[in-house]
């Protein structure tokens, strides 16, 4: 019997609009992985709402890390996501260097649909590369991938060789594993694409297109991917599990025609994760 894996999740907590910790905690818990939240900010609602109250927790992060070090707390994974200030990059770097054996996952949360989020300054976006440089796994969406590569957001579909080139160039920024979500390829399909530098392997998972997007989708995808990798799944199976669960949640939410701001209606779908489905819907990119 192995014990439960533990992830330090450096992320905000938002009251309204499921995203970040309100998605990450239930998802990873359902997968049998413990989450230790390291809140970067508390918000009354995520930044996609027209108004929100925000309390920045930058000055909480260093003392929290000191406490964990003093307690000899071990983490199997350090996972960074939504950050409230560019100074928080330094604190994330301190967490990563304090736990050199932990899996370092950076979700370079910066924007969606070709736009940066309201609170993401130019400096914060540019400093995100410092986290990407030390990560083992990064999970940008196409908007974030384009910001990291200083490329224009693709106006249309990408060829398979363009997608491979983006994956390789992102990996050259640091992470051995790169997964990009929401990529439209020239066959007209929407895909999640991934690259493992060590084995030089490229993978893709086809997603059904749903004409809607919801807050917290990237957080859900990254958390399932992390849970799956920590449980020992290969990269394509982890991508498959994360895509399948995210797609199920998008379709459920779309069927109720809920506003995108409310996020994914994940509560009813958690048993799917507990069931730990057998999967094999990946192909080579
Ligand atoms: O899901 C990304 C995210 C996380 N946290 C907050 C956000 C967003 C995206 O809008 O506003 C507070």
Percentage, residues of the chain above pLDDT 70: 99
214: number of Cβ within 10 Å = 24
- Phi and psi torsions of 136, nearest 5°: -90, -40
Provide the CB-side half-sphere exposure for 74 (13 A, CA). Answer: 5
In the prediction, which pLDDT does 2 show?
A: 57
CB 117 near ligand 1, within 6 Å: yes
CB 12 near ligand 1, within 6 Å: yes
CB 120 near ligand 1, within 6 Å: no
Q: Which of 225, 193, 229 is nearest to 107 (CA)?
A: 225
CB 20 near ligand 1, within 6 Å: yes
CATH 3.40.1190.20 fits 5-265, yes or no: yes
Tokens of 214: 């919801």
Task: State how far the Cα of 64 lies from the Cα of 45, in Å rounded to an integer.
Answer: 24
Could you give the maximum distance between any two Cα atoms of the chain, in Å?
53
Specify the pairing of strand 283-284 against strand 177-184: unpaired
pLDDT digits (tens, 9 = 90+) for 8-43: 999 999 999 999 999 999 999 999 999 999 999 999
In the prediction, which pLDDT does 1 show?
A: 43
CB 48 near ligand 1, within 6 Å: yes
CB 40 within 8 A of CB 61: yes
CB 143 near ligand 1, within 6 Å: no
In the prediction, which pLDDT does 277 show?
A: 87
pLDDT digits (tens, 9 = 90+) for 250-278: 999 999 999 999 999 999 999 999 988 88
Mean local confidence (pLDDT), 41-58? 97
Provide the CB-side half-sphere exposure for 44 (13 A, CA). Answer: 6
Distance from Cα 199 to the centre of ligand 1, integer Å: 33
Distance from Cα 161 to the centre of ligand 1, integer Å: 31
CB 181 near ligand 1, within 6 Å: no
pLDDT digits (tens, 9 = 90+) for 59-82: 999 999 999 999 999 999 999 999
State the Cα angle at 18 between 13 and 24, rounded to 5°: 65
Helix 87-98 and helix 122-134, axial crossing angle in degrees, nearest 10: 10
DSSP state at residue 199: T
In the prediction, which pLDDT does 44 show?
A: 98
Distance from Cα 226 to the centre of ligand 1, integer Å: 18
Mean pLDDT, the chain, integer:
96
Listed range (45-54, 118-127, 261-270) with the worst mean pLDDT: 118-127
Whether residue 198 has pLDDT greater than 60: yes
Task: State how far the Cα of 168 lies from the Cα of 178, in Å rounded to an integer.
Answer: 8
Distances in Å between the Cα of 54 and the Cα atoms of 19, 47, 147, 159, 205 are: 15, 9, 25, 41, 36
Q: Is 243 exposed, middle or buried (0-12, 13-18, 19+ CB in 10 A)?
A: buried
Percentage, residues of the chain above pLDDT 90: 94
215 CA: nearest ligand 1 atom: 1
Whether residue 110 has pLDDT greater than 50: yes
Task: State how far the Cα of 240 lies from the Cα of 245, in Å rounded to an integer.
Answer: 9
In the prediction, which pLDDT does 276 show?
A: 85
3-state helix, strand, coil split of the chain in percent (to 5) is: 40, 25, 35
Whether residue 3 has pLDDT greater than 90: no
pLDDT digits (tens, 9 = 90+) for 206-242: 999 999 999 999 999 999 999 999 999 999 999 999 9
Whether residue 244 has pLDDT greater than 90: yes
In the prediction, which pLDDT does 218 show?
A: 97
In the prediction, which pLDDT does 157 show?
A: 97
């Amino acid at each position: 019997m192995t014990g439960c894996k533990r992830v330090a999740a450096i992320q905000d907590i938002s009251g309204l609009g499921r995203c970040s910790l309100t998605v990450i905690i239930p998802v990873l818990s359902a997968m049998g992985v413990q989450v230790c939240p390291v809140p970067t900010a508390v918000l009354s609602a995520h930044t996609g709402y027209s108004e929100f109250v925000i309390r920045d927790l930058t000055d909480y992060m260093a003392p929290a890390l000191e406490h964990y070090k003093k307690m000899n707390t071990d983490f199997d994974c350090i996972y960074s996501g939504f950050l409230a200030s560019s100074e928080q990059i330094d604190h994330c770097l301190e967490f990563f260097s304090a736990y050199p054996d932990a899996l370092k996952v950076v979700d370079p949360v910066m924007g969606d649909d070709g736009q940066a989020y309201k609170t993401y300054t130019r400096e914060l976006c540019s400093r995100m590369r410092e986290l990407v440089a030390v990560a083992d796994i990064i999970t940008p969406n196409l908007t974030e991938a384009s910001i990291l590569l200083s490329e224009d957001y693709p106006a249309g579909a990408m060829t398979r060789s363009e997608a491979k080139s983006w994956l390789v160039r992102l990996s050259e920024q640091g992470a051995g594993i790169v997964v990009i979500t929401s990529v439209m390829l020239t066959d007209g399909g929407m895909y999640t694409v991934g690259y493992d530098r060590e084995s030089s392997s490229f993978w893709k998972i086809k997603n059904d297109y749903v004409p809607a997007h919801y807050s917290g989708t990237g957080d859900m995808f990254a958390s399932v991917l992390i849970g799956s990798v920590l449980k020992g799944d290969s990269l394509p199976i982890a991508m498959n599990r994360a895509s399948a669960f995210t797609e199920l949640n998008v379709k459920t939410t779309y069927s109720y025609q809920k506003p995108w701001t409310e996020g994914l209606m994940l509560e009813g779908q958690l048993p799917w994760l507990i069931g730990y489905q057998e999967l094999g819907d990946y192909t080579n990119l």
